[in-house]
Chains A and B, each alone.
Chain A
Amino acid sequence: METQLNILSLLDLIFLFVISIFLGVELIAKVPSILHTPLMSGSNAISGITIVGALLAVGLTPGSTFCTILGTLAVIFATVNVVGGYVVTDRMLKMFKTKLPGDKK
């Protein structure tokens, strides 16, 4: 938790950021509107990736009780986001069925 951002690593990260935005747009544009609700809850679960930061905030801040408390709270909220998101998405997608032959669930 101690590393500081310098201009070179910043440029690398911005590069990743821009490319990923374009990739995301391409991917999501292909999702049919019938699946938009599960798409939203599923992508929402992905945004719980901030859990990585939360885990580091608890685990890599030795000697600071306040950081441990903050980090634990962050882990709780990020886990709710991740677990809740994936489970509810699965629950929704399980319901999508078809009667067309050869396409059975």
Chain B
Amino acid sequence: MSREVLISLSYIAASVLFVIGLKRMSSPVSARGANLLSAGGMFIAIIATLLSKGIMEWQWITVGIAIGTAIGILMALRVAMTAMPQMVALLNGSGGLASLIVGWASYHYQPNSSLLTAISIYLAVLIGGVTFTGSVVAWAKLEEKFISGKPIRFTGQNIFNSLLLGAVLVGGIIFCINPVTNYPLFIALVILSLILGVMVVIPIGGADMPVVISLLNSYSGMAGAATGFVIINSLLIVAGSLVGASGIILTQIMCKAMNRSLKNVLFSGFGAVKKQTGTVIKGEVKTSSPEDVYLVLEAAHSVVFVPGYGLAVAQAQHAVRELGELLEKNGAEVRYAIHPVAGRMPGHMNILLAEANVSYDQLVEMDNINPTMETVDVCMVIGANDVVNPASRHDKSSPIYGMPIINADKAKAVFVLKRSMATGFAGIENELFYFDNTRMIFGDAKATIQALVTEFKSSV
């Protein structure tokens, strides 16, 4: 068997392993094995590539892989589960940067490219560059380092962005028509796409971050696929487009869960939208103390926790799990209702609760928990706000009208653990807090939950 055939067969095997790996991601039982299969596919792909005829510079290949592996393992083992969105942003970014550099290297090596190859190089550099700086900005926003997590807008932003985009397109056309004499233009295009990545992400913020992360995930795949066109490699195209598709789907799910179009997310920062106040809420907020909550919980047969990003901020997931176990011992059915956009990235709440040892069969999706909410005795809302605001069901003047929510208000009793009456990301009042069956418990969610745990333990 010739070397080329062997390499091609290995690439086919790798593609199949990626596909099976993604397919088996559909259940928590098979997911871990699926990830290993996918990693095996990647290993085969790397080995096969190294078998290519005429590979040289082994010392640099070894150095690159060694450094990358060390950094990758270190990051992966040290990152906290609360910081997973930042981690994924950085990983997206490094993949995008790698695609950009591969495009650059292949242009540098062979500036006299055919038109089609020049277009592919241009796309790899453009998408890779946008993915890289976009991800770095997303990381900084999530980490609240260097820049604020809120949308950043300035006057003339749209004009600036239009000019930038125009320059990238026109420059791209000139470059592709005659790549060999346009090295300086190529460098300019690299820089412009890096700036474009920054400009695309800075006007987005707050509650929209899950969309951004999903979208960058898609871009990183597309950058890989574009690189596949540059080096004419089917495996890169298959793997890159699988990832691109996954990012598209997640982006769609996130947008749907927020009842917003992608265009709306990308071009109008939530905070920058003219504040619609919604209907003024009448009534009075009733507060409660952990002692009173304990008495209600003690008698409850069915309890549902609704976690939001506040739970992660307060690091309350372990305390919540402990309370959940005590409630189960007390004979109650305990479930966790997860809204699709709770947290800072898709599925964020699930990994936090899984880390705290909550069994995954207790984690229930919004669509499955809502029909049963009326039979729930106690609903504990922890650090969530907009995702339980009933105004989305009936108040047409509310900016979140139409957004699917967890029907916490339908439970017999609702306890809301919150620092203050401050509004959520959407910046609107929540009428749930004024309902007759709602009691507010202000303060640190973790301290409140721990107080409840102590109450339970001392009464046994």
Contact = CB atoms under 8 A, between A and B. Distances in A.
B40 to A, nearest CB: 10
A5 B120 contact: yes
B101 interface: yes
Given A20-B245, A42-B38, A53 B18 contact: no
Tell me which of B34, B238, B246, B351 has the highest count of chain A C-beta atoms within 10 A of its own C-beta: B246
B308 to A, nearest CB: 15
A66 B105 CA distance: 8
B44 to A, nearest CB: 11
Given A10-B229, A40-B214, A56-B231, A95 B84 contact: no
B38 A57 contact: no
Tell me which of B23, B64, B238 has the highest count of chain A C-beta atoms within 10 A of its own C-beta: B64
Given A75-B68, A86-B42, A31 B91 contact: no
Given A78-B94, A79-B64, A38 B56 contact: no
Interface in B12-44: 18-19, 21-23, 25-29, 31-32, 34-36, 38-39, 42
A95 to B, nearest CB: 4
B77 interface: yes
Contacts of A97: 354, 357, 359-360
> Chain A interface mostly helix, strand, loop or mixed?
helix
Contact of A87 (B73, B97, B101, B217): B73
Given A52-B45, A67-B109, A80 B221 contact: no
A6 B42 contact: no
A33 B404 CA distance: 15
Q: What band does the interface of chain A fall in when counting residues whose beta carbon is under 8 Å from B?
A: 35 or more
A88 B94 CA distance: 15
B57 A21 contact: no
Contacts of B57: 58-59, 68, 71
Given A1-B110, A49-B240, A84-B91, A77 B101 contact: yes
Contacts of B108: 64, 66-67, 70
Contact of A23 (B19, B29, B58, B106): B19
Contacts, number: 404
Nearest to A83: B72
A24 to B, nearest CB: 3
B109 A61 contact: yes
B104 interface: yes
Contact of B75 (A35, A82, A84): A84
A98 B220 CA distance: 33
A77 B221 CA distance: 15
Given A6-B116, A78-B94, A24 B253 contact: no
B60 to A, nearest CB: 5
Contacts of A39: 25, 246, 250, 346-347
Contacts of A13: 228-229, 232, 234, 237
A18 B92 CA distance: 22
Interface stretch (B46-54, B155-163, B283-291, B430-438): B46-54
Contact of B110 (A2, A62, A92, A100): A2
Interface of A: 1-7, 9-10, 13, 16-17, 20-25, 27-62, 64, 66-68, 70-100, 103
Given A5-B116, A38-B347, 11 more contacts: A1-B109, A10-B229, A20-B238, A21-B244, A23-B245, A24-B244, A37-B345, A40-B217, A47-B217, A51-B46, A84-B71
5 contacts: A34-B363, A34-B365, A53-B228, A59-B52, A95-B354
> 9 shortest A-B CB distances, which residue pairs?
A79-B68, A24-B245, A75-B64, A36-B347, A83-B72, A84-B72, A36-B346, A87-B76, A59-B55
